[in-house]
Amino acid sequence: MTASTVDPVVTWRAFEQASRPDVERWMQQIEAPAATQTERLMTLIEANRDSVFGRRHGFSSIRTPEQYRERVPVQSAADFLPWLERASNDAQSVLTSQPPQFFERTSGSTARQKLIPYTPSFLRELQTAMIVWLADMIRVCPGIAQGRAYWSMSPSLQPGGITANGMRIGSASDLEYLCGCSAQALASTLIVPSFSDDLSGGTSRWRYETLRSLVADETLTLLSVWSPTFLASLLRPLFSPADAQSAHELAALETELPTARARALRRAVEAGHCGGLWPRLAAVSCWLDGPSRVYAQALHERFPGVQWLAKGLFATEGVVSIPYGTEPGCALAIGSHYLEFVRDDGRVCDVSGLSTGDEAQVVMTTGGGLYRYALGDRVRVTGKSGRTPRVSFLGRATSCSDLVGEKLDEAIVSEALQPVFARGASACIVPDRLADVPHYVLLLAGAQEDEAHALGSEVEGALRRVFHYGHARRLGQLGALRVGFVGTAPSALGERLQLAAESAGLRAGDVKASALVSQQTLAQTLLSMDGE
């Protein structure tokens, strides 16, 4: 059966029926988060007791979460890297008793990318979360079943390859994550653009092919992406028709589309929104919190009458939270991994120790062989689903920059950028370490150009109130903050971040917005673009 002959309503109805056991189990779990998490942890420890890591840390005699915490320290990504490297080099079972099906590269927000093992157990943990999310999404927004959907699927911008011990690097496709679960049948309802991983023609080719596939289908009901910057960059030709590249792509689209769809495209460009282009579009799903908030808000006017659905906190290393219900935040994925949280004072707690308003960094233990792994993401507790905390994403706790001892991090920079965000503008701060006098650049979009330097002064003033930054400025070790004006639309900065990250080798659909760009290659790419 081809996608064009599939009845999405029937397919979604079958999925709802098949997913009921998972959803019912989830509803029981959220009422007993502590017991659920203990059971999850002990299952993982028992399953991997004979791995090299398990033998090293005495898994065979661990009986409680407290004993686990005593024997296994919280480990940063850098601390855990030797174990990950060993898992991709050795033939023996290093981290898990199950061999990985493949390895995935992390998105590269730190200077050194890592290979994360994807075992059958780990894939099932991810599927458990995705099934609950999809089942709740169709409950909250039933209109998505009335047509076809697009889920973010972009080619890898890095070569796949094979590990030293002969394992595949990279999934065969994004749909591999659904294999063998009740959500697999939903793949037949998807719009899947036809493009190869050959990027010799540049990243613009697959982007064009994706846009053509979407515009050609008037039955589109759901746009599901991770970052709103990805969606903005995908739709750029529609909303920047005066740009030479956009004009060229629009002209090409019109010649390739059926007459009715070409007419709908022209009307969408003239109107400046997608209301008539996809009349059945019911929902857009993407990150709505943290640094992505301003970019999502900038897209709202492009989709009149469409429901916006939050994405949970999914990372290459695992899933932290699931979109479930309509309350603020997303419910912690207690049925997937074992989760812990490091507070600002260094104390560590499990889910039972969290209260509304708490802020903490996420630590996870997964079926892929990560043990007390500090993910580097910071969350705030917004409430509860049943007895299970709901959280919103604040930003990367581990994103930091220290050119001359000023010690800036994501939280400090986010606070300094509040005057910009209060005006509905978008911004990020980028270190220029190659300048004669090291300094930071404020990339700003969504304000008027004549406002840019005044906003820059406000941000610089906020940064100078940070002791180490102010001290470095007073000593002349650090130059004054400079301003790079990107455009009057807030989305302009998101598009630039998206293109720069892709140029630095990140998969397009995985790009995350951030207040502080600390990764050196990405920072220099952004600054070179600013100088064009």
Same domain, 128 and 255: yes
256 falls within a domain: yes
Query: CA-based angle 403:407:408, to the nearest 5?
Result: 100
Determine contact, residues 16/371, Cβ cutoff 8 Å: no
Strands (E), 273-397: 283-286, 307-310, 314-315, 318-319, 321-322, 330-332, 338-342, 348-349, 359-365, 373-385, 388-396
Q: Which of 264, 284, 310 is the last residue of a domain?
A: 310
**Which pLDDT value is given to residue 459?**
95
- pLDDT for res 51: 97
What was the pLDDT predicted at 197? 47
Please write the tens of the pLDDT for every residue from 334-390: 999 999 999 988 899 999 999 999 999 999 999 999 999 999 899 999 999 999 999
d(CA 118, CA 369): 9
Regarding whether 306 and 444 lie in a shared domain, the answer is: no
Three-class secondary structure of residue 484 per DSSP: strand
Task: Round to the nearest angstrom and report the end-to-end CA distance of the chain.
Answer: 49
Joined together, the tokens standing for residue 421 give: 């965000």
Let me know if residue 74 belongs to a domain.
Answer: no
Structural element, H or E, at residue 151: strand 148-151
Q: Half-sphere exposure (CA, 13 Å, Cβ side) for 400?
A: 12
CA distances, 400 to each of 84, 145, 376 (Å): 23, 43, 11
Which of the listed residues 310, 335, 362 is the one where a domain comes to its end?
310
Q: Is residue 43 part of a domain?
A: no
382 in any annotated domain: no
User: Is 264 a domain residue?
Assistant: yes
Q: pLDDT tens digit string along 218-232?
A: 999 999 998 888 898
Q: Is 459 a member of any domain? A: yes
pTM: 0.82
- Determine which helix (DSSP H) or strand (DSSP E) holds 248, and give its type and residue range: helix 244-256
Q: Which segments of the chain have a pLDDT < 70? A: 1-4, 107-113, 153-160, 172-174, 195-204, 505, 507-510, 530-532
In a domain, residue 115? The reply is: no
Phi, psi of 393 (to 5 degrees): -85, 130
Write out the two tokens for 263: 């007419």
Is residue 127 domain-shared with residue 265, that is, in the same domain?
yes
Task: Answer whether residue 353 is part of any domain.
Answer: no
What pLDDT is stored for residue 174 in this prediction?
67
Domain ends where: 310, 335, 354?
310
Count CA within 13 A, CB hemisphere, residue 512.
26
Q: Are residues 422 and 273 in the same domain?
A: no
Name the domain count of the chain.
2
Range of the domain at 451: 400-530
- For residue 45, how far is the Cα from the chain centroid? 28
The confidence score (pLDDT) of residue 227 equals 86
